[in-house]
Structure 1
Amino acid sequence: MGKVILDMTVSINGCVAGANDEPGGLHDWFFIPSEVNQAVIEEQIKSTGALVMGRRTYDMGASQDGFAENPFQVDHFIVSHSEPDSRPKGDTSFTFVSTGVPDAVRLARAAAGERNVVVGGGASIAQQCLAADLVDEIRLAVRPVVLTGGIPLFGGGAGMIELERLAVVDTPEVTHFRFAVAR
């Protein structure tokens, strides 16, 4: 069975977005990757078997046709109280889970098989996964920008989480950190 990996891009001060959900250039490294970043992306795509995200992240991606040419052609599990009226462009498979983050992760694990489940969208969903001790590994892509007043990734009452550093890959655009959650 694969791992559950929290995978987010953050500013140097730990924000996943600006105060009004604006991306603040955080994801530029992914959409216009250098050779080193492309290798990181390819490994992530190859090892991912399912994705978990929140409804707000889904809505933002859908509104920008972000799923039309989705490189992650795996099942996406969206934590949401309701389903949208229509589905976005593209071939991505979406399952809407109204019973909470633990159920979304359980379903994603079943779908992922031997590959990893990636929690990839929304600080709230990430915080809930951490608080419920569902995360095996944290991958952070840290951009050298500061988003004052932004949405912080960490918080939500998970307490202290000890991490073991697995790897660091540094590029001018972003520094990739991989940590195992110590248990």
Structure 2
Amino acid sequence: MEVSVGKVVLDMTMSVNGCVAGPEDEPEGLHDWFFSPSPENQAMVQRQMDAIGAMVMGRRTYDMGASQGGFVDNPFKVEHFIVSHDTPDEPAKGDTSFTFVSDGVESAVRQAKSAAGEKDVVVGGGAQIAQQCLAAGLVDEIRVAVRPVLIDNGLRLFDNLGSSVTLESLDAMHTPEVTHLRYRVVR
């Protein structure tokens, strides 16, 4: 599976019924594929890591990661742009670089693109931020890793878009743990 360069990529893991989190946050095991020893998944992870230049996330995702020590061993060694109304009193543990952006997703993506240079900006945390980026026309490509699970009353990734988004299928790869789908956003 080829990974594009220099694009804004929405990259999330979701259930078969489109949920990225359960009613009480992330269901256990949704992201297990990322740490899977299967050669196919590890090759996918490596391609994604090689292409990423910056990340955009929401404050809720940041807070969840910070409260669970999620940034201590963060595999994403790039600057993270957090869309937030304020800055936390204390930074998250770990050596991840965070920039808090209070003037919206457009500004966060613009700053992330500048930091990423020729590499991809990945929108990788929070359904609401992903929806805002899609609604604003900021996303060039969507990559979803679909896990074989159904989540009851979960937070759906593609709700609240404001209008339809047309996609062109670019690639698909199936492993026992996850099916990787890749789409170009048609403008």
TM-score (norm 2): 0.95
**Map of 1:120 onto structure 2:** 124
- Unmatched tracts of structure 1, length 5 or more: none
Q: Do 1:7 and 1:138's aligned partners in 2 also have CA atoms closer than 8 Å?
A: yes
Map 1:1-183 → 2, pairs under 5 A: 2-183=6-187
Give the % identical residues. 66
> Quick one: distance in 1 between partners of 2:78 and 2:27?
24
Q: Give yes or no for contact 2:10–2:124 (8 Å, CA) kept in 1.
A: yes
Provide the C-alpha distance between the structure 2 equivalents of 1:158 and 1:69, rounded to a whole number of angstroms.
36
CA–CA distance in structure 2, aligned partners of residues 23 and 45 of structure 1 = 24
The answer to whether the 8 Å contact 2:15/2:150 transfers is: yes
What are the superposed Cα offsets for residues 61-81 of structure 1, whole Å, 9 maximum, x if unpaired? 111111111111111000001
Q: What SS does the aligned partner of 1:120 have?
A: strand
**Which runs of 5 or more structure 2 residues have no equivalent in the other structure?**
none
Residue 22 of structure 1 aligns to which amino acid in structure 2?
E
Q: Distance in 1 between matches of 2:28 and 2:147?
A: 10
Hey, what's the Cα distance between the residues in 2 that align with 1:153 and 1:24?
Answer: 17
Q: Secondary structure at the match of 1:59?
A: helix
Greater CA deviation, 4-13 or 62-71?
A: 62-71
Would you say the 8 A contact 1:17–1:24 is kept in 2?
A: no
3-state SS of the aligned residue for 1:164? strand
Helix, strand or coil for the counterpart of 2:10?
Answer: strand
RMSD: 1.1
SS of 1:13 mapped into structure 2: coil
Q: What SS does the aligned partner of 1:119 have?
A: strand
Say which SS state the counterpart of residue 179 (structure 1) adopts: strand
Matching residue's letter, 2:100: F
Deviation at 1:24, TM superposition (A): 3.4
Deviations 1:16-36 (A, max 9, x none): 000111333210111234211
TM-score under structure 1 length normalisation: 0.97
Counterpart AA for 1:161? V
Give distance in 2, aligned partners of 1:22 and 1:94.
22
- Superposition misfits of 4+ residues, deviation over 2 angstroms: none
